[in-house]
Amino acid sequence: MPEISRFYGILIAMFWDDHNPPHFHARYGAHRAAIEIATLRVLDGNLPSRALGLVIEWASQHKEELMSNWEEARNSRPMRKIEPLP
């Protein structure tokens, strides 16, 4: 699971062979969630509300980069790191 960003103890990653819809994975401690890029809704899993809020804030600022990484992953190409929240 290639890491594309990390901030406030939250790991953001994507898989190369993941299923549609385009999404990314967020991990915070023992919590995990898959977040759809287009809608920023939780597809699977859960995160504590504060961590989820940070992930949604970050993802809303980086939707284009996330979609670009999704396309790179679908074509088995390296993904780019995305700036974390400040």
Model confidence pLDDT, tens digit, residues 38-76: 999 999 999 999 999 999 999 999 999 999 999 999 999
* Chain-centre distance for alpha carbon 55: 8
pTM surpassing 0.85? yes
- 9: in domain: yes
Say what the pLDDT of residue 27 is. Answer: 98
Residue 24's pLDDT band (boundaries 50, 70, 90)?
very high
- 80: in domain: no
Q: How many domains does the chain have?
A: 1
- 15: in domain: yes
Say what the pLDDT of residue 1 is. Answer: 74
Range of the domain at 58: 3-74
- 84: in domain: no
